[in-house]
Amino acid sequence: MTAHPRRGPGELEADVLATLWRSHEPMSPGQVRDALDAGLAYTTVMTILSRLHEKGSVTRQRAGRAFVYTPAFAQAELAASQMRALLDRGDDRDEILARFVGSLSKRDERTLASLLRRPARPRRS
């Protein structure tokens, strides 16, 4: 299989992301391009990777002169959104929050406390 003429927006990005997930180690743009075997230019892969990095779908570390990329979960975001949805649906937010905090481990409590002490971050609506 070689290059495919028609791809919708986001499809190449999905292929790149899937390639990163299938690898057990962080990959350089060159490695991603070779693994994809889709006749893509190095710069195309580079552009896609930096876009994915901007959007938080991959993380990167410096390795020598170039960056290597590791995939990141969107799942944390998904779980958080589901918790928010539960809170919104419940009649008594305070009670739900109280029970939730009551069920946390010591470690989770420390994390939560330190998160709340941080200066307010910009929030998505």
The mark string for 8-47 relative to another protein (x by CB under 8 A, - otherwise) is x-xx-xxxxxxx-xx------------x-x----------
Nearer to another protein, 77 or 95 (CB): 77
Question: String of b and e for 28-41 (b: at least 16 CB within 10 Å)?
Answer: bbebbbebbebebe
How many residues are listed for the chain in this entry? 125
| Distance from chain centroid for Cα 79 | 13
Which helix (DSSP H) or strand (DSSP E) does residue 75 occupy? helix 75-89
Name the residue type at position 10. G
Nearer to another protein, 63 or 85 (CB): 85
Q: Which of 34, 39, 77, 86 binds another protein (CB under 8 A)?
A: 77
Q: Which residues bind another protein (CB under 8 A)?
A: 1, 4, 8, 10-11, 13-19, 21-22, 35, 37, 51-52, 54-57, 71, 73-75, 77-78, 81-82, 84-85, 124
